[in-house]
Amino acid sequence: MSEQKIIEIEVLRYLPESDQAPRPEVYKVPFTDDMSVLQGVQYIKDNFDGSLTFRWSCRMAICGSCGMMINGIPKLSCEAFIRDYYPKRISIEALGNFPIEKDLVVDLSGFIEKLEAIQPYIIPKEPRTVEEGEYIQTPAQFADYIQFTSCINCTLCYAACPQVGLNPDFIGPGAMALMHRYNMDSRDGGQARRMEIAASEEGVYNCSAVGYCSEVCPKKVDPGNAVNINKINAGKDYFLRFLSPKGGAK
């Protein structure tokens, strides 16, 4: 057995009952090469300070709970490995662009509101009864939106987006990608309703096409692409709405 390696993990702590502002704290964590950063944080909680608070669930990049800023980059901590940082110190913080609730836990209520606003569910073109049977979809129609269904709401893209940082009201990459997912679904007829959000002052035009959202996305959803496709859609809606009025933003 090789000798035990120790990594320094600096955690930005914030306990709302006692701290005025977030403060860094360094822990020396023994690790093995198969340990993720999440496991490192769990080690700290189990062995050094039980009050350390963070979200996690699946440990395999499915649930989207354990996002953190790791050395300043938004990442799922279950997908980042300590060995890749050793022997340098790892610094971890709560996801950027969100208010910190406690330690590594951020307040996601703003994101949830945005998610609700884009109506992330199929709004049928014509409602069908059970007797009329299922909606038929071809593989090509399926291919139009499948990529955008992979979003796990981890909000790494929000932590990456400089425009979300400048304007917290911006609907943002993740919710826009889901908006696009439903708009592109052949069973859906809600595009005009969602256009009200896409074309609004909080909508797609806040994006300055930096593309960092797509870079940090652990599921290759490419939210940046979804936002930019909808700039074209919102532009068409802006200029063509007088020719064929069909709802959308007022």
Contact between residue 227 and residue 208 where contact means Cβ atoms under 8 Å apart: no
Q: Among 95, 93, 103, 86, which Cα is nearest to 71's?
A: 93
Q: Nearest distance from residue 208's CB to other proteins, in Å? A: 5
| Angle, vertex CA 235, rays to CA 230 and CA 237, nearest 5 | 95
Token readout for 184 is 């592109």
* Residue placing its CB nearer to other proteins in the complex, 25 or 168: 168
Strand pairing partners for 36?
Answer: 81
Q: Nearest distance from residue 190's CB to other proteins, in Å? A: 13
* Residue placing its CB nearer to other proteins in the complex, 46 or 169: 169
* Residue placing its CB nearer to other proteins in the complex, 59 or 241: 241
Q: Nearest distance from residue 60's CB to other proteins, in Å? A: 36
Q: What DSSP assignment string belongs to 42-89?
A: HHHHHHT-TT-------SSSSS---EEEETTEEEETTTSBGGGTTTSP
Q: Nearest distance from residue 191's CB to other proteins, in Å? A: 16
Contact between residue 27 and residue 11 where contact means Cβ atoms under 8 Å apart: yes
Q: Nearest distance from residue 10's CB to other proteins, in Å? A: 28
* Residue placing its CB nearer to other proteins in the complex, 102 or 114: 114
**Cα–Cα distance for residue pair 225/235, rounded to 1 Å:** 15
Q: Among 9, 203, 160, 199, which Cα is nearest to 92's?
A: 9
Q: Nearest distance from residue 145's CB to other proteins, in Å? A: 24
Q: Among 129, 207, 140, 146, which Cα is nearest to 180's?
A: 146
* Residue placing its CB nearer to other proteins in the complex, 29 or 234: 234
Q: Nearest distance from residue 243's CB to other proteins, in Å? A: 15
**Cα–Cα distance for residue pair 137/122, rounded to 1 Å:** 14
Interacting residues toward other proteins by CB under 8 A = 117, 162, 166, 196-197, 199-203, 205, 208, 231, 234-235, 238-239, 249-250
* Residue placing its CB nearer to other proteins in the complex, 46 or 116: 116
* Residue placing its CB nearer to other proteins in the complex, 90 or 234: 234
